[in-house]
Amino acid sequence: MNLKSRIDRIPGGMMILPLFLGACLNSFAPGTGKFFGSFTNGLITGTLPILSVWFFCIGASISLKATPLVLRKSGVLVSVKIVTAAMAGVIASFFIPADGVQSGFLAGLSVLAIIAAMNDTNGGMYMALMQQYGTKEEAGAFCLMCLESGPFMTMLTLGLAGLASFPWQTMVGALLPFLIGFILGNLDQDFRKFFGQAVPVMVPFFAFALGNNLNFATILNTGLLGIALGLAVIVVTGFTLVLADIFLAKGNGTAGIGAASTAGAAVTVPPIIASIEPTFAPVAPAATALVATCVVVTSLLTPLLTAWWSRRFGINSQRYQAAEAAKAQAVQLAPAE
């Protein structure tokens, strides 16, 4: 039936479709988990345990054996993305109340939604785009983008922005599964291969569990706002990332555009933050729906913008190809020593 290949054609399909199915179940049969209990209830309500395993496997998949150029490129992109999200959150906090906007077109918008949407890059899409439009070093920058996955970076961003404070035990606890996986994966490459295979497999499971915290009323109420927030992610983070790529990482901006997206994993952040810090609980459902819409919007538009930028300024541009041809001709004409 080729169901998987059809799902893969949907931007973020393995994340979005199970999330939608979970929302269907929660909207039309909200007591299903309690009714069946046991493993079925665990699958429906087990967001945190499933995500813990997923973070562990992500950590195991990252290798320390990266070239300095790759580390510089990935370090610049990751740090600038986080700083941009923090600045956006600080600015938004002056205009958005702690319990989010309650009425009008912006109803459901919160500082948590803005930071969660802007803080996490779709690393898989970024790597695919750089393999087509960028260089090998730019594609390798994916190695540090996995650090953005999960709640730790958002907790750190909220803390740096002065918008929330978390006990150090909570911060360490959010990072510990990732660190343990990272250590094991770098001690033995067989561990890295073994656990790394589970990263994509876990996605539909935690997405389904997350969907069971949503209902269609919340999704419909935030639909157009989610599209606007997705566009803001591309414009705001894309602007700072392109500048950072050109002036700090010595690139041509293509990697910056390719990193201006929202990862599917970002959908997990609002409910996890709310479970850690109850003050965010009222805004978590709407924030989750907004971030899910951002995933779809950026998955559709970021590749188009990256392709356009590459044709104008990247390695696929006429200027770049002419410069490379001139270098090759100069090497051929150079006298042999």
Per-residue pLDDT of the chain (337 residues; tens, 9 = 90+): 788 888 877 656 777 788 788 888 988 998 899 999 889 999 898 878 888 888 888 888 877 776 677 778 888 999 999 999 999 999 999 999 988 998 888 989 999 999 999 998 887 778 778 878 888 778 777 767 776 767 888 888 888 777 887 888 887 887 888 889 989 999 999 999 999 888 888 888 887 887 887 777 777 777 789 999 999 999 999 999 999 999 998 889 999 999 999 987 788 899 889 888 888 999 999 999 899 889 888 888 888 899 899 888 877 776 666 666 666 666 666 665 5
Q: Are 48 and 272 in contact (CB under 8 A)?
A: yes
DSSP string computed for 56-117: HHHHHT--S---HHHHHHHHHHHHHHHHHHHHHHHHHHTTS-TT---SSTTTT--HHHHHHH
Q: What's the pLDDT score for residue 254? A: 93
pLDDT at 211: 80
How many C-alpha atoms does 79 have within 13 Å on its Cβ side?
10
The span from the CA of 229 to the CA of 234, in Å, is: 9
CATH C-level class of 12-312: mainly alpha
Are 265 and 87 a contacting pair, CB within 8 Å? no
Quote the pLDDT of residue 66.
66
Residue 158 CA, distance from chain mean position: 16
d(CA 13, CA 6): 9
- Do residues 273 and 166 touch, judged by C-beta distance below 8 A? no
215: nearest Cα among 289, 279, 281, 280 = 289
- Give the start-to-end residue ranges of the domains of the chain: 12-312
Q: Which of 108, 151, 143 is nearest to 124 (CA)?
A: 143
Q: Which residue has the tokens 């606007």?
A: 228
Tokens at residue 245, please? 């790529």
Summarize the chain as % helix, strand, coil (round to 5): 75, 0, 25
pLDDT at residue 47, rounded to an integer: 79
Whether residue 26 contacts residue 33, with contact meaning beta carbons closer than 8 Å, is answered with: no
pLDDT value of position 116: 94
State the pLDDT at residue 329.
65
Lookup result for tokens 């961003």? 157
**Whether 276 contacts 96, CB under 8 Å:** no
